[in-house]
Amino acid sequence: MDTDFPVFLRRGALLGAVVLFPPLVHAGDPFGTLAAVPPLSGVREVGPAPCQPTEAGQPLNLIDVVDLALCNNPRTREAWATARAQAAQVGVARSAFLPSASATLTASRNRSEATRNNDRFNQQTAGANLSYVLYDFGARAANLENARQLFAAAAASRDAAVQGVFLAAMQAFFLRHTADAVLEASRQSEKTSLESFNAAEARYRVGAATPADRLQARTAHAQAVLNRITAEGAVKTAQGQLANTIGADPTRSPALAPMPPATPGTGFEADVGQLIETARRNRPDLAAAEAQFRAARAGVDSAQANHLPTLSLGVNAARNHLSGQPSIDSSNIGLTLTIPIFSGFSTTYKVYAAEAQADVQAARRDQVRLQVGLDVWNAYAALTTATQSVKSADDLLESATLSERMAAGRYQAGVGNILDLLAAQAALANARLSRIQAGFNWYTARAGLAQAMGALDSTLLDELSVKNRP
C-alpha cells in the first residue's frame, strides 16, 4: 500500500495545531476557567487552602466542627462540583472563538467493472480541514456572556451552600451542648426529687407526714426519672445530628470541648435598615439570582442573533491516491455567508421564550431581594429577644434556686409542707431549662443574623460575641 502522503498532511492539522495553538493541545485548562473555582477548604487557613485532618481522639471545639462540616459535608462537595461544571461551560463558549481543525485518513480496496479491467485496486485519501467563524453579529459573545453569568451564579450558590453548612454546623454544635446541659439539669432534678421522696418517706414512718405527702413526693420523683430518660434520648438525637453535619456516621459522634454559657450584654441595638442594605450587597443567594437574570438577558441576545447572517472561513486540502496512478492533490479556500431566511418561525419563538425566561429570573431575583430583607428583620428580632431573654432567665434561675432552698429547709425543719417543696423544685427545674434554652437561642440567633447578613465566616467564631455587646 502506497503511503506517499504530502508532508503537510503527514504532519497534518494536529502538528499545525501544536504550532499555532500549543496551550490548547498541552494544557488541561487552557482558558483557566476551572482554576477560577477555588478548592474545597475549611476555616483554619486564610484563602483557598485544602482541608486538613483533625487530630484524632481530641474533643472538638466549634472551629473543629465547622471545619469538618465544610470539608466533609456532601452539600459543599455538590456545590463545588456544580461550580466546576459551569466553569467548564465557560470554556466551551470561549472555544467558539477559535478555529476548528480536523484531519481524515481513509484506505480502501475497491473493484469496478467500468474501469481497470475489473481488477481490484487500492485507494488512499488524506485530507485536512480548517473552519473559522469570522463574524456572527454577536451570537458567540452572547453565548459566552450567558456562560459567564451562569458560572457567577454557580459560584455564588456555592458560597450560599458553604454558609448554609457553616450555620448548620454551628447549630448542631450548640444543640449537642444544649442537650447535654438539659440532661445534666434533669439529673440534678432527679437527685433533688429523690432526696425529697426520702425525706417524705422518713417523715411518714415516724408519723410526721401523711400518705398523700409520700405519694406526691413519689410521683414527682417518677416524673423526674421520666424527664431524665427523655433528655438522654435527646442527647442521642443531637449526637446523630452533629455526626451527620460533619459527614460522619451517627455511630461515630465525637466528643466536644466545653462551651462557656452565653453571656451577652443587656441589649442589642442596630439600624435594621442599614443591616438589610448591607445584606443585599453581601448575600450570595441574591448575587446568584442577579447572575441568573443577567444570564437570561444574554440568552435573549443569543436568540436574537440567530436571525442574523454568519460569515465563515473554510480551508481544506486533500490527496487522493489510486494504486498504480499518480496522486491527485486538491485544495480550496473560501468564505461562506449563511443568511437565515425562514426557519418555520422557530427563531421567533425562541426569542419569545428567552424573553419570558428573563422575566422569570427577574421575578425570582426580586423575590430573593424581598426574602433577604425579611430574613434580616426576623434574625435581628430573634437576636434582640434572645439577648434580653438570657438576662431574664438568669434572674429567674437565681430566684428559683433561693426559693427551692428555702422550701427544702422549711420542710426538713418540719414547718413546711410537701406541696410547697414540690412546687419550688418544679419551678427550679423549669428555670434551669429556661436558662439553657435562652443560651441556645442566643448562640443560634447571633449565628442566624450573621448568615442573614451574608457574613457568616471564620471571623464570627471569635468576633461576633464582641460585636453584639453594646
12: containing domain: 1-30+101-134+311-340
Q: Tell me, what's the pLDDT at 417?
A: 87
Place 19 in a pLDDT band, splitting at 50, 70 and 90: very low
> Tens digits of per-residue pLDDT, 429-453?
999 999 999 999 999 998 999 999 9
Q: 187 and 73: one domain? A: yes
Mean pLDDT is lowest, of 73-87, 216-230, 382-396, 405-419, for 405-419
Contact 376, 275 (CB under 8 A): yes
Let me know if residue 1 belongs to a domain: yes
Q: 202 and 257: one domain? A: yes
The Cα–Cα gap between 216 and 122 comes to 108
Reading the block at residue 232, the C-alpha cell is 438522654
Place 1 in a pLDDT band, splitting at 50, 70 and 90: very low
Let me know if residue 122 belongs to a domain: yes
> Tens digits of per-residue pLDDT, 247-273?
888 888 788 988 877 777 655 677 899
Q: Tell me, what's the pLDDT at 56?
A: 63
Q: 83 and 179: one domain? A: yes
Q: 93 and 105: one domain? A: no
Reading the block at residue 310, the C-alpha cell is 454568519
Mean pLDDT of 25-47: 70
| 231 HSE (CA, 13 A, CB side) | 23
With H, G, I as helix, E, B as strand and everything else as coil, classify residue 453: coil
Let me know if residue 47 belongs to a domain: no
Q: Where would I find the H helices in 38-138?
A: 62-72, 74-95
Let me know if residue 277 belongs to a domain: yes
Mean pLDDT is lowest, of 104-108, 225-229, 264-268, for 264-268
Q: Tell me, what's the pLDDT at 209?
A: 77
Q: Tell me, what's the pLDDT at 146?
A: 95
Mean pLDDT of 174-185: 95
- Give the DSSP H or E segment for 366: helix 346-412
Q: Tell me, what's the pLDDT at 23?
A: 43
Q: Tell me, what's the pLDDT at 78?
A: 92
Question: Which sign does the torsion angle of CA 84, 87, 89, 95 carry?
Answer: negative
Q: 300 and 199: one domain? A: yes
Q: Tell me, what's the pLDDT at 441?
A: 93
How many domains would you assign to the chain?
2
Mean pLDDT of 293-297: 96
Q: 428 and 396: one domain? A: yes
Q: Please tell me which residue, 242 or 18, carries the higher pLDDT value.
A: 242
Q: Please tell me which residue, 467 or 125, carries the higher pLDDT value.
A: 125
Percent of the chain predicted with pLDDT > 90: 54
Q: Please tell me which residue, 283 or 110, carries the higher pLDDT value.
A: 283
Mean pLDDT of 48-71: 76
The Cα–Cα gap between 71 and 247 comes to 8
